[in-house]
Amino acid sequence: MPKNFPRIVLFHATPVAMDPIGSAMARLWPEAEAVNLLDDGLTIDRAREGAELSEELIERFVDFGRYARRIGADGILITCSAFGPAIDRMIKELPLPILRPNEAMFREAIAAGDRIGMLATFAPAVATMEDEFRQFTAEAGAASSLETIVVPDAIDLLRKGDAASHNRLVAEMAPRLADHDAIMLAHFSTSRAAEDVRRMVDRPVFTAPEAAVNRMKSLVME
């Protein structure tokens, strides 16, 4: 059956990332056909592996990209930030636009200044994200530095359905980064706290979902 609109596969490794990107897609690109793929076991197994991502987990991750292509994806938007090497392999293997979770947000933050702060809630993702940030600063010829704060307990509360407490804990950490030029909320799930964080600091606050949807739209529709 022919498609009337581009099909964008939203690939999740945790269910708490689904609502933020779904809302951003509906608001910013309602014409697109958003299809969700979820394997929350990826996040569980990623946390067990520690710093290094195993070959088994990389291949398991890339298999989802292969499946997305088979079901007619025009683009893949990945919402979990803890799988950098697996995303790199997927990009090399598959001939369609594949967007890293934080690529667009990083570009916007780098344009905002030299001292960037980041509030994260899932510690295993931090090393990968910081490596990606350095890569983007180098590509942009920028001198931006990054300071990351991991907010304890917030992700566990969110997984239990307590979004209000998650948002409060993230926002309470924001003043520690108030002397930075901009603040990023590291994960798609963390974007829920954006308004609470903005009430705590007088600095630009960047989130991944909106930036990612806008960039994916430009990649697919160009």
Q: What is the pLDDT of residue 3?
A: 62
> Cβ(15)–Cβ(80) under 8 Å?
no
Residue 54: CA atoms inside 13 Å, Cβ hemisphere, count? 11
**Both 193 and 130 in a single domain?**
yes
Q: Estimate to the nearest angstrom the gap between the alpha carbon of 33 and the chain centroid.
A: 20
Q: What is the pLDDT of residue 53?
A: 87
Q: What do you get for the CA distance between the two ends of the chain, in Å? A: 24
Could you tell me if residue 123 is inside a domain?
yes
List average pLDDT for each run of 10 residues in the chain, which is 222 residues long. 80 92 95 96 86 90 96 95 90 95 89 94 88 87 93 94 96 97 93 95 93 93 80
Could you tell me if residue 181 is inside a domain?
yes
Could you tell me if residue 62 is inside a domain?
yes
Could you tell me if residue 2 is inside a domain?
no
**Both 94 and 17 in a single domain?**
yes
**Both 190 and 117 in a single domain?**
yes
The Cα–Cα gap between 169 and 192 comes to: 12
Please name every residue paired with 78 in a beta bridge, in sequence order, or none if there are none: 11
Q: What is the pLDDT of residue 176?
A: 97
**Both 97 and 113 in a single domain?**
no
Q: Identify the domain containing residue 159 by its residue range.
A: 103-207
Q: What is the pLDDT of residue 1?
A: 43
The Cα–Cα gap between 121 and 77 comes to: 20
**Both 203 and 107 in a single domain?**
yes
> What CATH number does the domain containing 145 carry?
3.40.50.1860
The Cα–Cα gap between 217 and 207 comes to: 17
CA dist 144 to 63, 103, 107, Å?
Answer: 35, 15, 11
Please count the structural domains in the chain: 2
> How many CB atoms are closer than 10 A to CB 73?
25
Q: In what order do the strands lie in the sheet with 205-207?
A: 145-150, 115-120, 182-185, 205-207
The Cα–Cα gap between 159 and 139 comes to: 35
Could you tell me if residue 1 is inside a domain?
no
The Cα–Cα gap between 155 and 46 comes to: 15
**Both 58 and 13 in a single domain?**
yes
**Both 92 and 113 in a single domain?**
no
Name, in order, each residue with C-beta under 8 angstroms of 185's C-beta and a sequence gap of 6 or more. Answer: 118, 119, 170, 191, 193, 194, 197, 205, 206, 207, 208
